Amino acid sequence: MMRGSRIVNCLCGAILALTALAVPSVLRAQDGYDLWLRYAPLDGEALERLRRLDLHPVASDSDASDPTVELALNELERGLAGLQNAPEEIPADGTPIVLQCDSDLPGPSGHYAVQPYARDSAQGIGIWASEPIGCLYGAFALLRALAQGEDPLTLNLASAPAMPLRMLNHWDNPDGHVERGYAGRSIFDWWRLPGHLDQRMIDYARANASIGINAVVVNNVNARAEMLEPRYIERLARLADAWRPYGIRVYLSARFSAPRDIGRLDTADPLEPAVRAWWQAKADEIYAAIPDFGGFLVKANSEGQPGPQDYGRSHADGANMLAEALGGRGTVIWRAFVYSAEDDTDRAAQAYAEFVPLDGQFADNVIVQVKNGPIDFQPREPFHPMFGAMPNTRLMLEAQITKEYLGFATHLAYLAPMWEEVLQSDTGRDGTVAQVIAPAGMAGVANTGSDRNWSGSHFDQANWYAFGRLAWDPTLSSADIAREWAAQTWSREPATLDTIESIMMDSRQAVVDYMTPLGLAHLMGTGHHYGPALWVCDLARPEWNPCYYHRADAEGIGFDRTATGSDQLAQYAGQVAARWQDPATISDDYLLWFHRVSWQHTTQSGRPLWDELVYRYDHGVSTVDSMAARWASLEGQIDARRYRDVSEYLAIQQAEARWWRDASIAYWQSINGLPLPEGSSAPAHSLEHYQSLTFPEAPGDT
Q: What's the rounded Cα separation, in Å, for the pair 683 and 663?
A: 7
User: Which segments within 15-109 are labelled E, that is strand?
Assistant: 56-59, 96-100
pLDDT of residue 9: 33
Q: How far apart are CA 464 and CA 415, in angstroms?
A: 9
CATH topology of domain 165-489: TIM Barrel (3.20.20)
Is the pLDDT reported for residue 21 higher than 90?
A: no
How confident is residue 701, by pLDDT bands cut at 50, 70 and 90?
A: confident
Cα separation, 648 vs 651, in Å, equals 5
pLDDT surpasses 50 at 392: yes
Q: So what's the pLDDT on residue 333? A: 98
Nearest to 514 by CA among 441, 412, 429: 412
The pLDDT tens digits of the residues spanning 474-490 come to: 999 999 999 999 999 99
Contact in structure between 467 and 401 (CB atoms under 8 Å)? yes
Assess whether pLDDT exceeds 50 at residue 396.
yes
Higher-confidence residue of 63 and 378: namely 378
Residue 225: is it exposed, middle or buried by C-beta count within 10 angstroms (0-12/13-18/19+)? middle
Given the residues 63, 75, 77, 404, the one annotated as active site:
404
pLDDT of 91: 61
The span from the CA of 294 to the CA of 166, in Å, is: 12
Task: Spot the catalytic one: 43, 102, 285, 303.
Answer: 303
Catalytic residue among 89, 376, 501, 656: 376
**Which residue ranges make up each domain of the chain?**
4-154, 165-489, 514-692
Instruction: For residues 242 and 236, give the distance between their C-alpha atoms in angstroms, rounded to a whole number.
Output: 10
**Measured between alpha carbons, how far is 210 from 136 in angstroms, rounded to an integer?**
8
Q: What is the mean pLDDT of residues 115-141?
A: 93
Q: What is the pLDDT of residue 89?
A: 64
Share of the chain above pLDDT 90, in %: 91
Residue 512 has, within 13 A of its CA and on its CB side, a CA count of 21
The stretch 434-446 carries a mean pLDDT of 98
Predicted confidence (pLDDT) at residue 657 exceeds the cutoff of 70? yes
Kindly report the pTM of this predicted structure: 0.95
Cβ distance 421 to 460 under 8 Å?
no
Altogether, the residues listed in the chain come to a count of 702
CA distance 545 to 12: 62
Position 420 confidence tier, pLDDT thresholds 50, 70, 90: very high
The answer as to CATH 3.90.1330.10 being correct for domain 514-692 is yes
Each residue of 501-537: pLDDT tens digit?
999 999 999 999 999 999 999 999 999 999 999 999 9
For residue 12, is pLDDT > 80? no
b (16+ CB within 10 A) / e for 629-651: ebbeebeebbbeebbebbeebbe
Instruction: Return the C-alpha torsion angle 151, 156, 157, 163, nearest 10.
Output: -160
| Residue 104 scores a pLDDT above 50 | yes
Strand boundaries in 254-394, DSSP class E: 295-298, 331-335, 366-371
Q: How confident is the model at residue 170 (pLDDT cuts 50, 70, 90)?
A: very high
Q: Tell me: the pLDDT tens digits for 562-601?
A: 999 999 999 999 999 999 999 999 999 999 999 999 999 9
- Under 8 Å between Cβ of 690 and 532: yes
Query: pLDDT exceeding 70 applies to what percent of the chain?
Result: 95
Instruction: Output the pLDDT for position 27.
Output: 61
Question: In the prediction, which pLDDT does 120 show?
Answer: 77
Catalytic annotation present for 179: no
Q: Tell me 390's DSSP state.
A: -
Q: Is 88 a catalytic residue?
A: no
Mean pLDDT value across residues 644-653: 98
Mean pLDDT, residues 264-287 taken together: 98
Stated as kind and residue range, the H or E segment containing 63 is helix 61-64
pLDDT band at 14 (very low <50, low <70, confident <90, very high): very low
> Is 185's pLDDT higher than 70?
yes
Q: Report, at the CATH architecture level, how domain 4-154 is classified.
A: 2-Layer Sandwich (3.30)
Higher-pLDDT residue of 27, 83: 83
Q: Do residues 354 and 314 touch, judged by C-beta distance below 8 A?
A: no
* 404 part of the active site: yes
Question: Looking at the predicted structure, is the pLDDT value of residue 92 above 90?
Answer: no
